[in-house]
Structure 1
Amino acid sequence: MQRRAAGIYVAVFLVIAAGAYSLIGVAQEPTVSVENPDKTLSNQGQKFSVDGRQYNVTSLSDGSAKVAWTNQSATHSAALQNNSTVERGNTTFRLLIPNQSNPNRATLREVQNLTNNTQTVQQGNQTYVVVNGSGGNKSLVPVEQYKRQQFGEPETRTLREGNNFRYQNNSTTIANISKESVTLQWTAPKTTTTSLSDGGRVQLGPNNKTFVAHSEGSKVLLSQNVKAYNEQQAEIRHFQERIAGLWGVSILSFIAAMLLAMLAYMPFKG
């Protein structure tokens, strides 16, 4: 009697396992489809515009793309730190800013370097150059005095806000002078590259419009209907959760059937 009941339960569990497995086999997973995309990127070198800003497709492969746009008059800036050196032609200058809370100027002072065979000594806070005199006598000359004797007065240049300044082959303007640095600004082209990947969100155009990217074969589709895309992705996740549940039912039911069968028909003594 017990074996007969066990057989019934085994059959029930096997039917449940088979039913769940059959549902897995016939279920069709939903897919994402983008209807009427705003932009279709189909080849490298393709150009398209968003609110007047022109983009160029610089790469397109494996369902991803890179697009770039160039701002022809982008603002660039650089900061020259106080006491740093600046090359002007073949001359090295040191940037000196007055120790004030709001300085209105800075100075470029020529750097005069001693030769390698020049002997110096330090006495207190002063550096001296050892100068060989007639008869083997030696004298100590303050280093700044020695430099003026050898090279003359160092060249100096005054910098003020609004002045033009040549920097790294760019014609710049001195935008600000603080006690820490001198800020330079200039305009030059600047290229910005944006990467697009399947399901990724990007902002394009001067108004930062949001697009969702979707790969379709060798193409990348751009759509502003992010809500519809998210809803389709949610349907796919829900489907996958249900399929995972069916797999769980099928596997557990089969295991339960096997355990019942083994326990019911296990030989016993007595």
Structure 2
Amino acid sequence: MQRRAAGVYVTVFLVIAAGAYSLIGVAQEPTVSVENPDQTLSNQGQKFNVDGRQYNVTSLSDGSAEVAWTNQSATYSAELGNNTTVEQDNTTFRLLIPNQSNPSQATLTEVQNLSEDTQTVNQGNVTYVVVNQSSNDTANKSLVPVDEYKQQQFGEPETQTLRQGNNFQYQNNSTTIANISAESVLLQWEAPKTTTTSLSSGETAELGPNNQTYVAHGQDGSVVLSSNVDAYNSQNAEIGEFNERIAGLWGVSILSFLAALLLAMFAFLPFKG
């Protein structure tokens, strides 16, 4: 009698396992598709416009792309710190700012470097250059203050006065002195600047001057862009729910089969006595 009951339960569990497995076989996973995309990027070098800003497709492969746009008049800036050096026309200058709370100007002074074989000594907090003087086959040495020696060797150092609003050549750029403070001189200039944005399938990116959010999707060998991000996310949510249900059906099928197997094994165990 017990074996008959066990046989019934085994049959029930096998039917449940088979039913769950058959549902897995016939279920069709939903897919993500973008209807009426805002942009379709189909080849490298393609140009497209977003709210008046022109982009260029710089790369395109495997459902991802890179796009770039160039601002022809981007603003750049650089700060020159007090007592730092600046290269200009193959000459090194040192920037010196007056020790004032609100300086109106700064000075660039040519840096005059001594040669490597020049001998110097310090005496009484003053640096001297050791100068060899020959007279009647005898060599005499004299000490010359370093500033005086440089003036003898190089002449007066070249200087430039910097004032706010003046033009200044910096790293091959024609800049404007925007501000002078006690710590630094601020330079500004305009030049082209290219900004690159990566687009990967399923990820969002901000494009255009208004930073409009678009979702990218690889579709039919192209990358499409859609501003309807909510609809795209909704389709992905449906796929997530489908996968959860499939996982549940696998669980039911496997557990039911194991339950049937265990019942069959216990039913046919030999009795004692």
Q: Distance in 2 between matches of 1:223 and 1:77?
A: 36
Which residue of structure 2 aligns with residue 240 of structure 1? Answer: 243
Q: 2:196 aligns with which of 193, 198, 202?
A: 193
Matches for 1:170-209 after TM superposition, within 5 Å: 170-209=173-212
CA contact (8 A) 1:63 1:217 kept: no
Which residue of structure 2 aligns with residue 48 of structure 1? Answer: 48
SS of 1:153's equivalent? coil
Which residue of structure 1 aligns with residue 19 of structure 2? Answer: 19
Q: 1:263 aligns with which of 254, 260, 266?
A: 266
In structure 2, runs of 5+ residues without a counterpart are: none
Q: Which moved more, 1:107-116 or 1:133-142?
A: 133-142
Q: Distance in 2 between matches of 1:117 and 1:67?
A: 56
Shift of 1:48: 1.0
Q: Which amino acid aligns with 1:165?
A: F
Which residue of structure 1 aligns with residue 70 of structure 2? Answer: 70
Q: Which amino acid aligns with 1:190?
A: K
Deviations 1:114-157 (A, max 9, x none): 01110112335332212223443323222222211221221111
Q: 1:213 aligns with which of 216, 227, 241?
A: 216
- Runs of 4+ in structure 1 off by over 4 angstroms are none
Task: Report the RMSD for the aligned CA atoms in angstroms.
Answer: 1.6
Q: Which moved more, 1:47-56 or 1:248-257?
A: 248-257
Q: 1:123 to 1:12 in 2, by over 3 A?
A: farther
Q: Which amino acid aligns with 1:245?
A: G
Q: Distance in 2 between matches of 1:268 and 1:139?
A: 121
Q: Which amino acid aligns with 2:16?
A: I
Q: 1:265 to 1:107 in 2, by over 3 A?
A: same
Shift of 1:198: 0.7
Q: Distance in 2 between matches of 1:19 and 1:172?
A: 77
Shift of 1:106: 1.3
Which residue of structure 2 aligns with residue 116 of structure 1? Answer: 116
Which residue of structure 1 aligns with residue 172 of structure 2? Answer: 169
Q: Which moved more, 1:96-105 or 1:58-67?
A: 96-105
Q: 1:99 to 1:258 in 2, by over 3 A?
A: farther
Q: Distance in 2 between matches of 1:206 and 1:15?
A: 61
Instruction: State the TM-score, normalizing by the size of structure 2.
Output: 0.93
Q: Distance in 2 between matches of 1:99 and 1:258?
A: 92
Q: 1:147 to 1:268 in 2, by over 3 A?
A: farther
Deviations 1:53-101 (A, max 9, x none): 1111111111111111111111111222222221221311111122333
Which residue of structure 2 aligns with residue 128 of structure 1? Answer: 128
Q: Distance in 1 between matches of 2:78 and 2:238?
A: 50
Equivalent pairs, count = 270
Q: Distance in 1 between matches of 2:122 and 2:268?
A: 102
